Amino acid sequence: MDIYIDTADLDEIKQAAALGVLDGVTTNPSLVAREGVDFHTRLREICQVVSGPVSAEVVATDHDGMIAEAEPLIGIADNIVIKLPCIEEGVRACKTLSDRGVRVNMTLCFQPLQALMAAKAGAFLISPFVGRVDDVGGDGMEIIQQIRQIYDNYGYETKILTASIRHPQHLVQAALIGSDVATCPLKVIQQVMKHPLTDVGLKKFLADWHEAMAVLQKKEPALT
């Protein structure tokens, strides 16, 4: 499963990239607004750090507006993926761009039939938001399972990108179901490498090592 980071914070992206496990980046208007930076400039900076897919979202809600906004984004770098909403106009725009060979990430997906339509329109990625579904009492991971089965049933090549990840358990479940990609905040990426037994075990190994070295030094004859 590929791991993307969901942020527009350049420092966070560099931290994740330094781990050697980062495969791509997802952004959205809310994330960029928090940074207080120019959208296109930040995307260029991100693409200089990450060679994998970088999703850039439009804010228009009509087909022509989406295509017009996508044009300058496409020219930023070869790894830019245009991010469109899972609405009727978004599906139309997805088809238009996909027919041109432009990769599209269909976002704000909350039910499996949206994912089916996106795949039929040629989407590169579909982004179901599991955390937001959980927030309103639903089962976000069940949607990932349903989309996985639908895509496997008919051989769709659209990649499932599990989004709105809240905690490491979402990552575990996504990987077990067979999600192609998961995008998450830096804190979740960092959390997955932490376990109290790892810390206890490492502490014991180091203590034993230092004890063994101290005993060995006592046994060594003094140099004359």
Per cent of the chain over pLDDT 70 is 98
Mean pLDDT of all residues belonging to the chain: 94
Report pTM: 0.91
User: CA angle, corner 178, sides to 116 and 78, nearest 5?
Assistant: 70
Q: How far apart are CA 157 and CA 169, in angstroms?
A: 26
Catalytic annotation, pick one of 83, 120, 159, 219? 83
The mean per-residue pLDDT over the stretch 40-55 comes to 96
Query: Which contacts (CB < 8 Å, 24+ apart) does range 176-182 have?
Result: 177/141, 177/144, 177/145, 177/148, 178/148, 179/1, 179/144, 179/148, 180/1, 180/2, 181/1, 181/2, 181/3, 181/4, 181/23, 181/24, 181/125, 182/1, 182/2, 182/3, 182/4
pLDDT tens-digit map of 60-76: 999 999 999 999 999 99
Q: Residue 169: pLDDT band by 50, 70, 90 thresholds?
A: very high
Closest residue by Cα to residue 105 from 134, 153, 73: 73
Q: Is 204 a catalytic residue?
A: no
Chain mean position to CA 213: 44
The domains of the chain, with CATH numbers, are 2-194 (3.20.20.70)
pLDDT above 90: residue 195: no
- pLDDT per position as a tens digit, 73-132: 999 999 999 999 999 999 999 999 999 999 999 999 999 999 999 999 999 999 999 999
